[in-house]
Amino acid sequence: MTKAPGVVRVCLYGPTASGKSTIARHLAKTYGGEIIKVAEPLYRLQKLFYDELELPVNGQDGELLQFFADKIEREQPGWLGRRVTDRVQASATRLVINDDCRRNSYAALDTAGFVFVRIDTSPDHRATRRRADHRAVDPHHRVEAGFDEFRMDYEISNDGALDDTFRAAETLIDRLLSSNRERS
């Protein structure tokens, strides 16, 4: 997969409730970037499931999303990764952010030229930030495991004030964009 000159692709990774999505939304808004999620097809399947049952669902059903991810990977290995890289390739923004990389999509994002940024947050802080989802993810499920196997290009701490985390993320993005312009 080729990357357009001047384009930066960043993958924020880490455990559930580490702040990846909050940071991704901030960066997308600040830089006019696009967030492209691996799990987007899974969210659509979740919606279809609950619509068909005529049941409301608040937030994510982590149990169902993990089931869908496993089933898709068994039926079409690598499909989620291929889908996300197709969407990344079609993006017209200078900054593409992924905030939901898991083991089943890591290789595809790596091949697509993503910079991997680990969001480091202590378990105590993560416990205070958990979303009120319909069904929480199982943190020991194989979809949630494997972050230590990812290449870590950079690390951002999210244990302090959110504004400090945002500034650290902006500093990194500024550096990456500047470096990319110099190479173009």
Under DSSP, the state recorded for 32 is: T
| pLDDT tens readout for residues 96-106 | 999 988 888 88
- Domain positions in the chain are 8-183
pTM of the model: 0.87
Confidence at residue 129, expressed as pLDDT on a 0 to 100 scale = 72
Q: What are phi and psi of 38, to 5 degrees?
A: -60, -40
| pLDDT tens readout for residues 39-52 | 999 999 999 999 99
Whether domain 8-183 has CATH 3.40.50.300: yes
How far is 45 from 43, CA to CA, in rounded Å?
5
| pLDDT tens readout for residues 85-129 | 999 999 999 999 999 888 888 899 999 999 999 999 888 887 777
Q: What is the mean pLDDT of residues 20-29?
A: 96
